[in-house]
């Protein structure tokens, strides 16, 4: 009689996390879905890989693509993907990792300011944000809204360059 | 239909229809910035509608798409305020934007305290995005109030839309919100009778026809 190990998983949670780190954001491919902080939990039971996915902005058209890419990646590892979309309040821009913020900055997107206890005011949003190109804080808000729901448009007075900034939510 | 599903549909219908109306500015707003802003706000509102429909759909054993597009015009529960078509009138558009977003803030704040965890969680998530809609509406109110012509247009439009705006909120939330609007705009607005949900605006049928045209042409279509 042999002792059979019942936990002969196809993949481990750590392998899944590592694989999801390779999945690019559909709109800003410099960051991965793990950098964005949208993967809340990974649980492996036998072949089944359960991922809790917390969307960024509810109207973001990239959400389905993110979900499908994660499922495809898990299938590549040999797991059976089960990506659950969690529509609660657990994602905020504070979930973007330090590495993710640095990648955004390097690609010309100013990362979001940390979330404050109170909601932001227009006056707070007007000035003081750092230009991702030249580093100056002589920037002003040009438009609260930008090309995608997650971004605002700012203008740098120092290098005369418009740039996109992640909204803090 | 459960009370919960009914209330979720009211919210979802408001957001869907307003999102549609806001998107009518795409390409023709007074400036490129506003073109982008109203398009982005429209996208957010329709995203909120979808999430709310999904929550209701789970209760009703249907899908978000069926709720959004397969009902008859009389079955929608949107407030008449959001059904009105204003393009190309910017003054009325901003008056509605401000009235709706501030009323929505009061409603969402109440839902964040709900004992229903799914509703409270989604309300909190929606509110994170709505903060920017309110900032945008406030910015435009300031801008219009700062010029004599803008002030007249905003105040006249607000008076005209006031009975419609009263129809957004339940009786318990209405007085505090109404007082806030009166103070902000410095204008006397009597509470009066609300134009309630169910009394669809004349503009609604044409919008319903446009909104549901693809689904009706190709039943069950997916994209």
CATH (domain of B133) = 1.20.1260.10
pLDDT tens track for A81-97: 999 999 999 999 999 99
Q: Is B173 part of any domain?
A: yes
Selected residue of B128, B136, B137, B141 to mutate for chain A interface (largest A Cβ count, 10 A): B128
Is B166 touching A (CB cutoff 8 A)?
no
Whether pLDDT at B171 is above 50: yes
Find residue B110's DSSP bridge partners.
none
Neighbours of B151 (CB within 10 A): 16
- The two structure tokens encoding residue A34: 């793990």
| Least Cα separation, residue B162 to chain A (angstroms) | 26
Whether pLDDT at B58 is above 50: yes
Is B50 touching A (CB cutoff 8 A)?
yes
Q: What is the CATH number of domain A13-85?
A: 3.30.300.130
pLDDT of residue A1: 46
- The two structure tokens encoding residue B14: 């408001």
Which residues does chain B have within 8 Å of residue A149's beta carbon, measured at their own beta carbons? 40, 43-44, 47, 129
- Reduced to 3 states, what is the DSSP secondary structure of residue A39? strand
pLDDT tens track for B36-50: 999 999 999 999 999
SS3 assignment for B72-122: CHHHCCCCHHHHCCCCCCHHHHHHHHHHHHHHHHHHHHHHHCCCCHHHHHH
B43: nearest CA partner in chain A = A59
Q: Is B40 part of any domain?
A: yes
pLDDT of residue B219: 83
B112 within 8 A of B90, measured Cβ to Cβ: no
Interchain proximity B40–A120, CB inside 8 Å: no
Interchain proximity B40–A149, CB inside 8 Å: yes
Interchain proximity B36–A58, CB inside 8 Å: no
Model pTM? 0.94
Residues of chain A whose C-beta is under 8 A from some C-beta in B?
A: 57-60, 87-92, 119-122, 125, 142-149, 153, 167, 169
Spatial separation of the C-alpha atoms in residues A66 and A55, rounded to whole Å: 9
Q: Is B222 part of any domain?
A: no
pLDDT-above-70 percentage for chain A: 95
Which residues does chain A have within 8 Å of residue B140's beta carbon, measured at their own beta carbons? none
User: Residue B97's domain spans which residues?
Assistant: 3-217
Q: Is B223 part of any domain?
A: no
Q: Is B159 part of any domain?
A: yes
| Least Cα separation, residue B123 to chain A (angstroms) | 8
> Mean pLDDT throughout B130-159?
97
Interchain proximity B50–A57, CB inside 8 Å: no
Q: Is B53 part of any domain?
A: yes
pLDDT of residue B223: 65
Residue-level length of chain B: 223
Which residues does chain B have within 8 Å of residue A88's beta carbon, measured at their own beta carbons? 117-118, 121-122, 124-125
Q: Is B66 part of any domain?
A: yes
pLDDT tens track for A2-12: 454 445 668 99
Interchain proximity B36–A146, CB inside 8 Å: yes
Is B139 touching A (CB cutoff 8 A)?
yes
CA angle, A52 as apex, A48 and A54 as ends, to 5°? 155
Q: ipTM score here?
A: 0.91
A57 within 8 A of A25, measured Cβ to Cβ: no
- Structural domains of chain B, count: 1
Show me where the domains of chain A are located. Answer: 13-85, 110-166
- Tell me whether residue A38 is exposed, middle or buried, using C-beta atoms within 10 angstroms of its C-beta: 0 to 12, 13 to 18, 19 or more: buried
pLDDT of residue A6: 47
Q: Give the nearest partner residue to B47 out of A58, A142, A146, using CB atoms.
A: A58
pLDDT tens track for A120-146: 888 889 888 999 999 999 999 999 999
Interchain proximity A120–B48, CB inside 8 Å: no
Which residues does chain A have within 8 Å of residue B37's beta carbon, measured at their own beta carbons? 143-145
Find residue A143's DSSP bridge partners.
A153
Q: Is B150 part of any domain?
A: yes
């Amino acid at each position: 009689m042999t002792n059979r190990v019942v936990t002969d998983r196809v993949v481990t949670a750590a392998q899944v996390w590592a694989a999801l780190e390779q999945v690019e954001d559909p709109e800003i491919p410099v960051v991965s879905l793990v950098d964005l902080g949208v993967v809340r939990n990974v649980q492996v039971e036998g072949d089944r890989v359960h991922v809790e996915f917390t969307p960024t902005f509810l109207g973001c058209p990239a959400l389905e693509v993110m979900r499908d890419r994660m499922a495809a990646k898990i299938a590549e590892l040999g797991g059976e993907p089960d990506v659950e979309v969690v529509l609660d309040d657990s994602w905020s821009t504070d979930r973007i990792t330090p590495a993710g913020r640095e990648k955004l900055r390097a690609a010309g997107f100013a990362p979001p300011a940390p979330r404050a206890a109170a909601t932001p005011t227009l006056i707070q949003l007007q000035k003081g944000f750092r230009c991702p190109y030249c580093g100056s804080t002589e920037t002003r808000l040009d438009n609260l809204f930008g090309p995608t729901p997650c971004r605002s448009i700012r203008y740098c007075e120092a290098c005369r360059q418009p740039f996109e900034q992640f909204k803090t939510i | 239909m459960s009370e919960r599903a009914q209330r979720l549909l009211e919210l979802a219908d408001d957001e869907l229809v307003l999102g549609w109306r806001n998107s009518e500015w795409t390409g023709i707003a007074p400036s490129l910035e506003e073109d982008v802003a109203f398009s982005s706000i429209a996208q957010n509102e329709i995203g909120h509608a979808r999430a709310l429909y999904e929550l209701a759909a789970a209760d009703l054993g249907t899908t978000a798409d069926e709720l959004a597009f397969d009902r008859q015009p009389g079955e929608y529960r949107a407030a008449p305020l959001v059904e009105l078509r204003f393009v190309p009138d910017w003054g009325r558009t901003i008056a509605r934007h401000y009235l709706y977003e501030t009323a929505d803030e009061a409603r969402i704040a109440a839902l964040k305290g709900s004992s229903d965890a799914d509703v409270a969680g989604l309300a909190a998530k929606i509110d994170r995005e709505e903060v920017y809609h309110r900032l945008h509406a406030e910015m435009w109110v300031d801008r219009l109030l700062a010029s004599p012509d803008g002030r007249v247009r905003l105040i006249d439009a607000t008076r005209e839309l006031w009975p419609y705006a009263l129809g957004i909120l339940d009786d318990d939330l209405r007085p505090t919100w109404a007082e806030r609007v009166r103070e902000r705009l410095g204008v006397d607005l009597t509470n009066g009778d609300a134009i309630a949900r169910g009394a669809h605006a004349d503009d609604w049928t044409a919008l319903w026809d446009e909104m549901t045209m693809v689904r009706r042409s190709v039943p069950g279509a997916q994209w």
